[in-house]
Every structure is written in C-alpha cells, then in structure tokens.
Amino acid sequence: MRIHRIELREIALRLRERFEISSGGRQDRRVLLLKLEAGDHTGWGECVAAEDPGYSYETTETAWSVFDEFLIPGVLGQEMEDARDLLGPVEWVRGHRMAKAGLEMAAWDLEARRRGVSLADLLGGRAGEIAVGVSVGLQPTDEALLSNVARYVDEGYARIKIKIKPGRDVDMLGAVRQAFPDLPMMADANSAYTLDDLGVLKALDRLELMMIEQPLAHDDLLDHSRLQRSLDTPICLDESIRSVRDAELALELGAGRIINIKPGRVGGFSQARAIHDLCLDRGVPVWCGGMLESGVGRAHNLALASLPGFSLPGDISASRRYWERDVVDPEFELRGGTMTVPDGLGMGVRVREEDLPLLTRRVEVFES
C-alpha cells in the first residue's frame, strides 16, 4: 500500500480536572492527531508527547517539527507491504519515539481497515474485555485523595494507581490502605526518588502494594536493580524502557519485576509487541499505561492490551474520566471494572471529524 495523503492536526482539549504528578501538572492538553490515507482507506494515530519536557524530551512542539521536516516527508508516497514497514525510510532519525509512534500506529489502524479486521485482531489480541485501573494524581490533602479513591472504587475500577513524591508518600498511602485494606493499589513516583531515599521506599513494603512504578531516574536501570534487591515490593519500569533492548537489559540486571508498556513511549506497536513477547516468554507481567490520550490513543491502547501477556489492569480509563466530550464515537465506558475491546474495523471507533474544526489550533496537509 502507498500512503498518498497525511493530515497533521493539533487540537486543544481540556481535562475535567488538573492532573498532578511529581514533576508538575496540567489541565489543558495539546493533542496531535494524524490521519493517513491510502487508496480508499484511512487510519488514525495520536502522538502522546506532552506540552513540556517533564516526562520526556519530546514535546508537542518538537513532535510537530519532526513530523513536518522529517517523518512525514520521509514516508509519504512510499510503497510498503504492511504497517511494520512504514518507518523504514526514517529509521535514520534518532529518538523521537512518540512522534514515530503516532505515524506507525495510524498505519496499523489503516492496515486493519484495509484487511477488513479489527486492530486487536491484527495485533494478535485475544481478550474481548480488559480489566482496567485508574491513575489518581497528587492531591493537596489526604482527605481529597481519599475522596477521589472512594469515588473510583465505587465506579468499579479494578486497580488504583496513586502518584507520589517525597513528602507525599508513606503516610499518605498508609491512610489509603487503612481506609481500603483490600484495595489493589500501586504507587507511581515518576522518577522522584534516589537511592538516598531507600528508607522511605522500604517503608512502602508494609502497605502490600502491587508495585512501585519508576521510583528512580528516568534513564536508569543500574540503581533500580540495586533498589529491587532491597525491596519486597515489585518495581515496575516505565520511563526507562524505550525499546525491546532496554527491556532485555532491565531483565538481565533484575531492575524490576513488572514492565509498563506504553506504545507511544516505545515507538509504536512493533516495539510494544516485541517487549510484550519478550516478557511473556520470561514470565514477566506487563500492563498498558496511559498518557492522557484522547479516544484515538485509548482505542489503540485497548487493542494492544488485548494481547495475552497483559495480565495486570492497565491505565485505560473511561473517556469521561478525563474529558467532558471525547473525540471518538462511541466513547469508552467502564463496565464492572472492565472495558470492551472494540471489534469493528481498525481501531473500532469513529473520529468525530465534524467536531475537530472547533478544537483545531493548526493543521497541515501533505500529499504526494
């Protein structure tokens, strides 16, 4: 197939509430959507880069630039057998995995539609229902946190993830554990700690957490391996896993016992599947994380999470958890702690293109 037209669009979406992590927070999202066309078929992708470089060096602006100057011109008009071939002409571009993922995942959606199958089927997914959790940002008080946790428990989420940072950790999580003694719960540090904080991190062992996600530096594996040897609680690696090679090294070092696979972080579905297959072979649990995506990215995450190795609830919350109105139809809803994997063509939901003009900040069209 040959991609003859690509539309790059930035839309503005406002979160229902401000989302705070250890490195900062946001309420307004600048989302980059990509629409690929080949013949009579269309595929949609989303770039998960954030507005600032707090999580990754990639941002909305860097992604737009690399799309405009290198990635889109490099793949436009190229013949390819399937979606795995799309990025071949731009392999020379170092890094920029979030931008590459937006293009590559749109190509997978397009290929699924062209073949007349669902994206989940094309990826090799098996599950029709996915157990999902929810991520709770840092709150100003323990009372506010407990109120939010109670609300999400009532809504039926299968697991609660709570953001932490130095000074808002052991006592705060202890209050949640006391109020919800049987709650499946994990902590996410977003690289806020160092080995000097070993005493604090060891104190979390008594809270029976499912895992502690990325406690140390975003690009570290060695110190994580040292920390894991000192903890009973499993470490889950997020930011430091950017490729299957990173995952292989992490497992070799014993840097963690669980991996969070975000397709947007690792460069798309091809790398995400490779990490999944490695972990499945090694008996390492994986789950699918979220990046405050619109319904486009959420649909992609659900399709990926239907693969057999995704044994833990992912951060794939209902559309209304984040948005007053999502950009896809139907929106994603929670049913008894699970979410249905769309089984329609491609990603299985329709982008509300009629709504996009009012949300659009800029758009650029590339044709061959």
Tokens of residue 78, six digits = 């190229």
Rounded Cα gap, residues 312 and 152, in angstroms: 17
- The 3-state secondary structure of the chain reads CECCEEEEEEEEEEEEEEEEECCEEEEEEEEEEEEEEECCEEEEEEECCECCCCCCCCEHHHHHHHHHHHHHHHHCCCECCCHHHCCHHHCCCCCCHHHHHHHHHHHHHHHHHHHCCEHHHHHCCCCCEEEECEEECCCCCHHHHHHHHHHHHHHCCCCEEEECECCECHHHHHHHHHHCCCCCEEEECCCCCCHHHHHHHHHHHHHCCCCEECCCCCCCCHHHHHHHHHCCCCEEECCCCCCHHHHHHHHHHCCCCEEEECHHHHCCHHHHHHHHHHHHHHCCCEEECCCCCCHHHHHHHHHHHCCCCECCCECCCCHHHHECCCCEECCCCCECCEEECCCCCECCCEECCCCHHHHEEEEEEEEC
CA proximity to 99, closest of 110, 85, 87 = 87
- Give CA–CA dist 183/157, Å, rounded: 10
Residue found under tokens 């063509």:
345
Best CA proximity match to 284, nearest among 262, 255, 263, 317: 255
End-to-end CA distance of the chain: 13
CA-to-CA separations, 84 to 41, 114, 232, in angstroms, rounded: 17, 15, 39
Q: Which amino acid is at 356?
A: L
Could you give the residue numbers annotated as active site?
Answer: 163, 262
